[in-house]
Amino acid sequence: MEDKAQIHEAIKVQGELVRKLKSEKANKEQIDEEVAKLLELKAQLGGDDGKHQFVLKTAKETLTGKYGEDSKLIYDLKDQGGELLSLRYDLTVPFARYLAMNKITNIKRYHIAKVYRRDNPAMTRGRYREFYQCDFDIAGQYDAMIPDAECLKIVHEILSELELGDFCIKVNDRRILDGMFAVCGVPIDKFRTICSTVDKLDKMAWADVKKEMVNEKGLSEEVADQIGEYVSMQGGMDLAERLLQDQKLSQSKQACAGLSDIKLLFSYLQLLQVTDKVVFDLSLARGLDYYTGVIYEAVLTQTGVGLGSTEAQQEAHAEDSVSVGSVAGGGRYDGLVGMFDPKGRKVPCVGVSIGIERIFSIMEQKAEASAEKVRTTEVQVMVVSAQKNLLQERLKLVSDLWNGGVKAEMMYKKNPKLLSQLQHCEEAGIPLVAILGEQELKDGVVKLRVVSTREEFDICRADLLAEIRRRTSEA
């Protein structure tokens, strides 16, 4: 068995290496080589060791034998009558489909729900295969750029209020990209794929992006260089004005329409007081096909700074500060609803997706790094007993507190020790303790203890609710 333990350890290490290479998108040969080593190690364990590799999945077998005769209602995924089913990739396409199916021509709504991606998960960066998104969208035929500006205001407000560190919202327009590709000489059938390549500029250097354009996508060096010049440009309303005068770009009607809208957008953003964080950035492409106008992406520029105490943590954070990056993105998609309508009726839409899980992972890292304790419950008062045989009195008091709207709890034990009850309060960060003892019951009072200062006061039963409310509203 000694050997087996060693092999298990080796499998663990090798498995981590493979995951690391995959998440870093190392070259295929290298990954294949290490996977082969991993399989070799696993083969050494032989069949008798299957138990150790037993992993429970949320599959059919999890649900069998638990529901008795109701089992017939379990929703199996195998027999969908031969339909090809997929899990939703984002909340935008389902939203557009919902509008079309229900013939809704204007609506403003937010939606928080799960989406699914067959991607390489990276837990520390808040990247999972199943994760939550929060979408906000405005659908309807309105005057140009007014709802678009509101979306950017909302992103600005969320990221400011959450205090995630400095951030920047990049803005561009699909029409400007298309116009730019056209005047640079990109063949029209290559617009979308070149767009995807430009989208990689936030992770790759221009030299590598150019290489992909020329070697893989078949552009000439000259065309690629022209694109390179444009996509290096960043600015504000002034850049939009300058590009409207650009000899080459102004030849494209599409580009001019996009540039005018960017100008208008910035004028609204000034009134909404958010231009400090918004940058017109011609390298912003966003890969999704459905965008038709303005596009944007919010990027954290300061994560990882000051976080993490050990060297290893700091290294991990340095990596994160690059890769967590984008926390929100969106744009205008005027054609998507029409794709689901039998008569092709269009409903213009603009929206934003907020990467909740990514934001949570940053907030968790921040909380870990700070001395501040993160509470996982909102309990305001713990009802405890100082002596034995006071369960009934605790139940009565906790019931009174619940009826009075106070968030209270007690231990589910007949005779818990006072010390362990008080310790629980310290650990869970519960601010107040209501202590019941024989003396207190005789006097018709409750001893109220403030956990942080360890002060204790006798409070008359009739005044207890008011006193707790006063003390908890202070905090």
- Of 208-267, binders to its own copies (CB under 8 A) are none
Of 17 and 428, the one with the shorter C-beta distance to its own copies is: 428
- Neighbour-count burial of 202, counting CB atoms closer than 10 A to its CB (0-12 exposed, 13-18 middle, 19+ buried): middle
Q: Minimal distance in Å, beta carbon 61 to its own copies?
A: 7
Rounded to whole angstroms, the Cα distance separating 408 from 425 reads 11
343: helix, coil or strand?
coil
Q: Which of 1, 5, 85, 371 binds its own copies (CB under 8 A)?
A: 85
Helices marked H in 324-390: 336-340, 356-369
Of 360 and 402, the one with the shorter C-beta distance to its own copies is: 402
Contact 241, 266 (CB under 8 A): no
Q: Which of 94, 121, 165, 236 binds its own copies (CB under 8 A)?
A: 94
Query: Which among 21-29, 88-96, 215-223, 364-372 is the span making contact with its own copies, rule CB under 8 A?
Result: 88-96
Q: Is 28 in the site for its own copies (CB under 8 A)?
A: no
Of 2 and 412, the one with the shorter C-beta distance to its own copies is: 412
Q: Which of 41, 99, 122, 138 binds its own copies (CB under 8 A)?
A: 138
DSSP per-residue letters across 182-204:
HHHT--GGGHHHHHHHHGGGGTS
Q: Is 93 in the site for its own copies (CB under 8 A)?
A: yes
Q: Minimal distance in Å, beta carbon 270 to its own copies?
A: 9
Q: Is 466 in the site for its own copies (CB under 8 A)?
A: no
Q: Is 65 in the site for its own copies (CB under 8 A)?
A: yes
Q: Which of 460, 473, 413 is nearest to 434 (CA)?
A: 460
Q: Is 110 in the site for its own copies (CB under 8 A)?
A: no
Q: How far is CA 296 from CA 204, 281, 282, 358, in A?
A: 19, 9, 11, 17
Of 28 and 72, the one with the shorter C-beta distance to its own copies is: 72
Report CA 162 to chain centroid distance, whole Å.
13
Q: Which of 117, 211, 424, 471 binds its own copies (CB under 8 A)?
A: 117
Query: Which among 20-28, 55-63, 303-311, 430-438 is the span making contact with its own copies, rule CB under 8 A?
Result: 55-63
Of 138 and 384, the one with the shorter C-beta distance to its own copies is: 138
**β pairing state of 445-450 and 234-235:** unpaired
Q: Which of 316, 319, 321 is nearest to 305 (CA)?
A: 321
Q: Is 450 in the site for its own copies (CB under 8 A)?
A: no
Rounded to whole angstroms, the Cα distance separating 309 from 300 reads 21
281: helix, coil or strand?
strand
- Of 299-338, binders to its own copies (CB under 8 A) are 336
Of 242 and 396, the one with the shorter C-beta distance to its own copies is: 396
Q: Which of 1, 5, 47, 78 binds its own copies (CB under 8 A)?
A: 78
Q: Which of 17, 233, 272, 316 binds its own copies (CB under 8 A)?
A: 272
Q: Is 23 in the site for its own copies (CB under 8 A)?
A: no
Of 63 and 466, the one with the shorter C-beta distance to its own copies is: 63
- Of 150-179, binders to its own copies (CB under 8 A) are 150, 153, 157
Of 147 and 304, the one with the shorter C-beta distance to its own copies is: 147
Q: Is 132 in the site for its own copies (CB under 8 A)?
A: no
Residue 132 CB contacts under 8 Å (≥ 6 apart), including other chains:
112, 113, 114, 115, 356, 357
Q: Minimal distance in Å, beta carbon 119 to its own copies?
A: 5
91: helix, coil or strand?
coil
Of 307 and 337, the one with the shorter C-beta distance to its own copies is: 337
Rounded to whole angstroms, the Cα distance separating 369 from 301 reads 18
Q: Is 97 in the site for its own copies (CB under 8 A)?
A: yes
Q: Is 47 in the site for its own copies (CB under 8 A)?
A: no
R_g (Cα) of the chain, nearest Å? 30
Of 2 and 69, the one with the shorter C-beta distance to its own copies is: 69
Q: Is 67 in the site for its own copies (CB under 8 A)?
A: yes
Q: Which of 19, 88, 111, 211 binds its own copies (CB under 8 A)?
A: 88
Query: b/e for 97-127, b at 16 or more Cβ within 10 A?
Result: bbbbeeeeeeeeeebeeebeeeeeebeebbb
Of 29 and 76, the one with the shorter C-beta distance to its own copies is: 76
- Of 385-424, binders to its own copies (CB under 8 A) are 391-392, 395-396, 399, 402-403, 412-414
Rounded to whole angstroms, the Cα distance separating 116 from 452 reads 43
Contact 302, 165 (CB under 8 A): yes
Strand partners for 298: 169, 328
Q: Minimal distance in Å, beta carbon 365 to its own copies?
A: 21
Left if phi > 0, otherwise alpha if psi is -120 to 50, otherwise beta: which for 455? beta
Of 212 and 281, the one with the shorter C-beta distance to its own copies is: 212
